[in-house]
Amino acid sequence: MKLHRNLVDAVIEGLLLIFNNEQQADKIVEKQLKKDKRWGARDRAFIAETTYEIVRWKRLYAEIAEVNAPFTVHNLRRMFAVWATLRGINLPEWGNYFENTPQRRIKGRYDELSKVRKLRESVPDWLDELGVSELGETLWTKELAALNTMAPVVLRANTLKISVPHLKTYLQAEKIESYPLQQYPEALQLVERANVFSTTAFNNGLFEVQDASSQKVAPFMQIDDSVKRVIDCCAGAGGKTLHIATLMKNKGQVIAMDIYDYKLQELKRRARRNELFNIETKLIEPRTLKRLEASADRVLIDAPCSGLGVLRRNPDSKWKLKPSFLDEIRTTQQEILQQYSKLVKQGGKLIYATCSILPSENKKQIEQFLLSEKGKDFQLEAEEVILAHTSGYDGFYMARLLKK
């Protein structure tokens, strides 16, 4: 691979903003990709993938490069040199660009540091200790390694408009190759990463990008013809809302709720593109919740969480996550369970889901809820723990509770 200075500069500039200013990696990458209209698909892929790789391995690369935060431009060039050397890429002679880069020591340092899990997998000390305490040494080691791989691109066919085989053919015509996934009936996985958002198929609402694990939530809710009203309590931009509405075949009512109006506006745009007309959005307010008490056949709580199950697609979150946030989010999760469980009618079902792999955010939250006053009317029907190292997709948890 031949390195081009303008592309490397774009990577270094983006990393400065992500590491020193704590800006979101996806937003910065999106911004960097727009800096030069002459860049082709390969150029943009290089910037995006290299930036995410260095973010993912920040601690390991910084240790090998012998630099500390806050990082200077020179520090980040040294870290870039680590990335390139470990991949067998020759560093070009751009004056003093890579000056004093310890190329000869990089591989030796890598071999030495890779013997220590928290350095090899590039995570903060506290997070490594937490993973061991919650999952045990063996399971945490396997899961952490899986979460440091690049996430595949998985699509969910909008089956109201197209079948999976026909979507595959449609995408082939746009030079995008994909294949179906056996255990995920509406999914197609891309053979190679591609900008699917610029396709005619996407603009026509024939699919959404949705990880395979996330695609399991809506079917887990057991939506059938008897289900007339579903409430999605933490809908966000609505990935699962759209799937629920599709399974309901555009019938009944899906109420999508969130505390952020801009997310609900995005959900409305996505629903129009998908031609889904059974979705109603509502900002969360006390009076709204009061009116909806005991009215829903299904209530989904896609709870805010640590996001540790989706580190592959959000590697910068492990550097921003703090122990204090985890304590706060566990409290919030239980409060949401207590509050929104009131919306389930008798004989209805409450579904709790997170994209976390920690039992303290998952199984233990359900156990605590069932022992509470509001939880005494519910019984656990089923739960599923999805781990990245066994599924190949995001880490997830789902529990389904019946209101007696």
Show which residues are catalytic: 355
Cα distance between residue 61 and residue 268, in whole Å = 42
Cβ atoms within 10 A of the Cβ of 7, count?
18
Tell me the C-alpha to C-alpha distance, in Å, between residue 303 and each of 139, 227, 236, 337, 352. Answer: 24, 22, 10, 9, 7
Rounded distance, CA 243 to CA 218, Å?
6
289/164 Cα distance (integer angstroms): 37
| Contacting residues for 84 by C-beta, under 8 A, at least 6 apart | 3, 90, 91
Q: If DSSP codes are grouped into helix, strand and coil, which group holds residue 402?
A: strand
CA distances from 279 to 101, 253, 254, 264 (A): 56, 6, 5, 11
Among residues 70, 78, 10, which one has the least CA distance to residue 39? 10
Residue 258, marked binder: yes
User: How many C-beta atoms surround the C-beta of residue 251 within 10 A?
Assistant: 12
Longest Cα separation, the chain: 73
Angle at alpha carbon of residue 125, lines to 151 and 142, rounded to 5°: 40
Phi/psi at 16 (5° precision): -60, -45
43 assigned ligand-binding residue: no
CB 189 within 8 A of CB 213: no
- C-alpha to C-alpha distance for 376 and 58, rounded to whole angstroms: 46
For residue 326, give the 3-state DSSP assignment.
helix
Residues annotated within the binding site are 258, 302
Residues annotated within the binding site for S-adenosyl-L-methionine are 258, 302
